[in-house]
A and B are shown apart, each in its own frame.
Chain A
């Protein structure tokens, strides 16, 4: 099979959780340098689709390739370091300081601690570096998660409702990060229910309705 030209290549993908059909017959491709905005009402399956792309949820049917790797193969573990995901609830450890959270990700990924501090500065959070994540606001935690993606430079960045809890300057920051990923020939998939707000950072849009892409 020739190497895939797409960062995301889904064909006939379905997801069932228990008895419920969440997604069916999803056809989706995202090319390098492309930023896809995925829209849909509450419960349309946007987050589920994003988790499948992130290799965290196996599709129950269809063929799915991410960064050239079939999600059915054990190789899907190997593409994980090349993926970045910012989900809609924060993934930081509440007991650790904001900087310590970044440093943990740096150590696991083999990135220098200086890069962690630098990324925290880049998102304007160096003043709060020693604050425990549990005592930081949702918006501050989101900024730190963006700092993690600046530090790790993923080839495929997945964003779930990137606007929630962010002030205008942080939204500019997200736009900047998205532009950076695209410049490196990476790709972005972002999920939102607000078409207008994400318009500046997407190159293409798709709507999820009835469990499939319309």
Chain B
């Protein structure tokens, strides 16, 4: 991990965030799309306030997961073949590229999560007594989803059906993040059960980081 590694990782993260800032795809497409999904739920299940406040946190994380996947196939996260060639010839360290892309995606996902959480509280009247856990849960979810998205994106890169495949690859593997997030926040087990869920989430984040680092080079060789 020399200075070159961090310089390249930062450059990639900065590039992705700048691209996203200019394109505004998450702000103008993914966030409204997620918000409308949260709005659809009461229309489908009825507007019983008790039911809504009970399912609110769960719906929030389902939307975060299903629509968050869209951020990993956002236009500004996918490179065209000439762009891929150009970055390959810059001699970028594939691990630095993984780290940078993941960091940028995690930031984007965190913004998405925070806005969705606000919408869910407003629409469902959720009891937010256990929500201080969110300070840890939201970043962990964002990092885990970002790691899954970056690895899957690299697996599916330059495959014709790639962008269609990524959600299928990411979603089943994101289940520990979904369960960890909801179980921690809903505070079902008052005897410190939240902590073991957080540990599970942290382990998932760590394991995905290891997989991402170890597979970065084999995946680079595909281009």
- The A-B contact count (CB < 8 A) is 72
Q: Which of B70-86 contact A (CB under 8 A)?
A: 76, 80, 82-83, 85-86
B7 on the A face (CB < 8 A): yes
- A55-84 vs B, CB cutoff 8 Å, 1 = contact: the mask equals 110000000000000000010011011011
Are A85 and B91 interface neighbours, CB within 8 A? no
Residue of chain A at shortest CB distance from B15:
A104
B29 on the A face (CB < 8 A): no
Are B89 and A95 interface neighbours, CB within 8 A? no
| Chain A count of residues within 8 A CB distance of the other chain | 29
Are B82 and A90 interface neighbours, CB within 8 A? yes
Q: What is the distance, in angstroms, from A94's C-beta to the closest C-beta of chain B?
A: 9
Q: Which of B8, B12, B22, B89 contacts A80 (CB 8 A)?
A: B89
**Most chain-B Cβ atoms within 10 A of its Cβ — which of A55, A80, A108?**
A108
Chain B hits for A89, CB < 8 A: 80, 82
Residue of chain A at shortest CB distance from B3:
A110
Given contacts A95-B22, A95-B23, contact A54 B89 (CB under 8 A): yes
Q: What is the distance, in angstroms, from A131's C-beta to the closest C-beta of chain B?
A: 12
Chain A hits for B196, CB < 8 A: none
Chain B hits for A92, CB < 8 A: 83
- The DSSP consensus for interface residues of chain A is mixed
A202 on the B face (CB < 8 A): no
- The complex places the Cα of A87 from the Cα of B87 at a distance, in Å, of 13
Q: What is the distance, in angstroms, from B197's C-beta to the closest C-beta of chain A?
A: 38
A96 on the B face (CB < 8 A): yes
B54 on the A face (CB < 8 A): no
Chain A hits for B8, CB < 8 A: 107-108
Are A96 and B15 interface neighbours, CB within 8 A? yes
A136 on the B face (CB < 8 A): no
Q: 15 other contacts beyond A85-B85, A104-B11, A108-B7, with CB at 8 A cut-off? A: A56-B85, A56-B89, A87-B82, A89-B82, A91-B80, A91-B82, A95-B22, A95-B23, A96-B22, A105-B86, A107-B8, A107-B10, A107-B11, A108-B11, A108-B90
| 11 residue pairs bridging A and B, Cβ less than 8 Å apart | A56-B223, A81-B89, A85-B86, A87-B82, A95-B22, A95-B76, A104-B14, A107-B8, A107-B11, A108-B87, A108-B92
